[in-house]
Amino acid sequence: MKFTVTRDALLRALRIIAPALARSNIAEKYAGRLRAAESGIAIYLTNLDWDVRCAAPAAVAEQGEIWVVRDLFRSLPWPVLGPDIEFAVRKGTLSIHGAAGTYTTQIQADPGMAEPRIGAKIIATLPGALFGQLIRLGSIAMAGQTEDQTTIRGVWLRTEDTTLVCDAWDGMWLSRASINVTGIPAFRLALPAHAALTLSAAAKLHEAITITTSLDHATVTLEAGDALLTARALAAKIPDTQAATLPANLPIHATVQADLLAQPARLAMPVVGTDHTTRTRLETREDGLHLDLPYAPNHGRFTGFSATVPATIMDAGMDLIWTRQLVACLGPLGATTINLSLGRTRGTWVMAQVGQINFVARLGSVAGPKTRNPLAVEPESATVQVA
């Protein structure tokens, strides 16, 4: 096998699947594959739960396919190798040559992983930017999840009657984004973290995203230009819990512009430092919404931070919430106007209309109860392809 690919074409393909290349996703059962054909090259990243395929144009002199060391695509300094990069295989060794030098690595044994099934029946077409924003907002609470051997760190993507919903939570912290749709059959997917982020990034770059299903309805495929994600359809595994639903007659204590509240929350970060347990007090006052970082022994040289944000105050309310959750929730909302419901027992709820997207988030109150994670499911096969 021998081919030459431009640095820009290679970097573009690797950028699209950057979440799958993140260090946290590199596991012992991860493998990489290179395939060269007349039309160009394809880069595969595979483990037991997911499969990513990237395509790039290349000048192919000799066709072929090989398996390579699992972190090859993440480890090498591709941007500085030169404008053109040559891959060549000789006697079980892959050489990667650029103007800056040559790397060599041994070819790996074929792990025997099967090709994924691709959707065959189109069930919906949605604007790419809208769908990408839906995934981005619905996955905000994904940052609070912990990854272990029994659960997927990721999001749910599903339909409910005439609504397409994306949400995630860690038992205390919920983020949910939804849009009204018509004519989409019911489906439910569990997307790993890297798959959700890859799909969101790819969707925003293309005019539309197409949703298809396999003939046996066992898998659902989401395609945005050169990004293709195929995941197994799942049965519902969400128990009936109050943490998963918006409480009835939820009182609104304040209305505020998200970026105006996000700014002082970010300014408090030097006080927070690396402490993930730092709490922030949000309280309604006559002159606006007051944010206060109370003193804690582990704050270091800073003893606290406080600020008042212009807001429309509806009622008296106060809650203690995790500082990092507040920053992560408000950031993607930009200048959107949000409604806040502050409650020590039910948590702080953030509600907003972001264009066509209805967004709801529950920030875990420091004093509130922690419920079982209703999104905890056994690992399922999820396939991401970028063709």
Of the candidates 87, 91, 102, the one whose C-alpha atom is nearest the C-alpha of residue 32 is 87
Of the candidates 319, 363, 369, 322, the one whose C-alpha atom is nearest the C-alpha of residue 344 is 319
The DSSP symbol for 233 reads B
Beta carbons of 113 and 31 less than 8 angstroms apart? yes
* pLDDT single digits (tens) 85-117: 999 999 889 999 999 999 999 898 877 766 555
Q: What percent of the chain has pLDDT over 90?
A: 30
| Total residues found in the chain within this entry | 387
CA 60-116-212 angle, 5° bins: 105
The pTM for the full model equals: 0.72
pLDDT of residue 377: 37
CA 220/CA 120 separation, integer angstroms = 9
pLDDT of residue 52: 67
The DSSP symbol for 28 reads T
pLDDT of residue 226: 64
Tokens of 125: 């077409």
Tokens of 284: 């309604």
Q: What SS3 state is found at 256?
A: strand
pLDDT of residue 385: 42
> What's at 129, amino acid-wise?
A
pLDDT of residue 311: 95
Could you give all domains of the chain from N- to C-terminal order, each with its CATH number?
A: 2-106 (3.10.150.10), 121-160+181-239+374-386 (3.10.150), 254-363 (3.10.150.10)
Beta carbons of 265 and 291 less than 8 angstroms apart? yes
Tokens of 8: 């820009």
Output the DSSP codes for 49-70. S-EEEEEE--EEEE-EEEEE-T
Q: For the chain, first and last CA: distance in Å?
A: 20
CA 213/CA 134 separation, integer angstroms = 20
What does the pLDDT profile of the chain (387 residues) look like in tens digits? 999 999 999 988 887 776 666 654 544 455 788 999 988 998 877 655 556 677 789 999 999 999 887 678 888 899 999 999 999 999 889 999 999 999 999 898 877 766 555 556 777 889 999 999 999 999 888 865 554 433 446 788 888 888 999 988 766 788 999 999 887 888 888 777 777 887 787 788 788 988 888 776 677 778 777 666 766 666 544 443 333 566 677 889 999 999 999 999 888 877 776 666 778 889 999 999 999 887 666 555 667 789 999 999 999 988 888 888 888 899 999 999 999 999 766 778 999 999 999 999 988 766 544 433 333 333 344 443 433
